[in-house]
Amino acid sequence: MLKIPFILFSLLLPALASAAGPDAHLALLPAGAEASLLVTDAKTGKTVYSHDAETLRPPASVQKVITALAARLQLGNEYRFNTDIETEGNDVIFRFNGDPSLRRDDIRRLVASLKRETSIIRGNVYLNGAAFDDFELADGLPWDNLGICYSAPSSSISLDDNCAVAKMVFTDNNNTQIDFQVSRDAPINIVEKLELTDGLEKRYCKFKLMADNTNQYTLGGCLGRHKIPRFLSFAIQNTELYVAEIIRRELKHAGIELQGDVIRNDRASGRIIARHESAALPELLDEMLKDSDNLIADNLLKAVGRSYYDEPGSFDNGVSAVKAVLQEKAGIDLAHAALADGSGLSRNNRMTATQIMAVMQYIYAHPELKLMDAMAEAGKSGTLRYRYSLRGDTFKGRVRGKTGTLYGTYNIAGMMSTASGSALLFVQMVTNYHHPDYHRHEKREIRNFEKKFYQSLYSMK
């Protein structure tokens, strides 16, 4: 039998207890759920705890830290998305470059600049979206979510988050007639085919949404009357059609007569007469990481592809560029990671906890990038502000990270300051999570697991 001196054994006990803790907490997950966990010392890089860290799993929105690092290294702090108005002869060109933060008021200000040049457009208005290719949806997106704003298409011609908001209300005292109040009279069409129910909704009749390429949205299935009024957010399906109509309306609002039409033409170019610039990259990354903005992430992925390859940005060249940039500039090898987008929304994405940890370690080792500061902070900001498992004074201000959630997937990658004053980097990837009583107790086990897991990390020595 191996004999260990008593003093050495006593010194090992705290470490052994800490290492055993996370394993014990895995039993809190429901049957069938799987997890990859990896914890390292932030300063030394040494592994503190590891469980199944080499298995490929969906990264979900944790993937945004990969997009953020690649964008920061390739595009630089001063990068901004530009939107220009150009003129050529009798024609006017709106040149879009994929600004995910562009708003209708920005278009209005550009049109006001145009009005100072002319009050009549004798030719056409051309929409130039050559910055990105025409494929606005990544492979692996679930079709049933495409009408919802977090699945908004990644387009060079982007406006108002590629999202329209409407309020569903009753128009009669008997609660039988429904109408929709569309924000800023957005050019969309809503068709209502709902079966209204009293009390609980029918068990096998869910609220459903269908969307088509004309920006028409059909609401069907069942909905309880008690859930009306309610706000609905619709992902714009045809960004070109949507923005063309917005521009027609803004020209009319400014008193500019358009004698031609609004047409897509990616070859049109002219003399720049007005420009709108987005916020600089750090501000975009801050919003993307704290609030998990999918459109910013996907459009930045395409911008990285465009910058690296000097061709229209796409999901394909964006993914290739991200891998190349991280290998060349950070020494991070993601050759065996399966990436399909920049947001993590595609179900085709697969990464290991080890691969994500390599990115987190680089971010921690390079504070000048300010990417760790851009992540959500437990109890204070972003997607960690109200996360159940990290509530309370113990974790408030001590944990920063990026969350990622898909159906059956609960991930976090971040940094924790422990009770002993040390800094830990961690990656949590939980997949195939499903509770038998899904609708009533969906998150009970994952909340319990996370709370115990992070308490064990906080107490680790």
Q: How far apart are CA 68 and CA 314, in angstroms?
A: 17
Q: Which residues contact 7 (CB under 8 A, 6 or more apart)?
A: none
Rounded (10°) CA dihedral 378, 381, 387, 391: 40
- From 36, 64, 314, 343, active-site residue: 64
The verdict on whether 155 is a catalytic residue reads no
Name the catalytic one among 158, 292, 346, 389. 292
Tokens linked to 143: 């079709």
Buried-state track 32-62, b at ≥16 Cβ within 10 A, e below 16 = ebebbbbbbebeeeeebbbeebebbbbbbbb
Structure tokens at 234: 């619709």
DSSP 313: B
Concerning whether 193 is annotated as a catalytic residue, the answer is no
64 is catalytic: yes
DSSP-assigned letters across all residues of 183-215 = GGG-S-EEEE--EEESSSPPTT--EEEEE-TTS
- Judged by DSSP in three states, 148 sits in strand
Q: Please tell me whether residue 9 adopts helix, strand or coil conformation.
A: helix
Annotated catalytic residue within 36, 61, 154, 456: 61
Whether the upstream peptide bond of residue 5 has omega within 30° of 0, thus cis, is no
431 residue type, one letter: T
Q: Which residues are catalytic?
A: 61, 64, 292
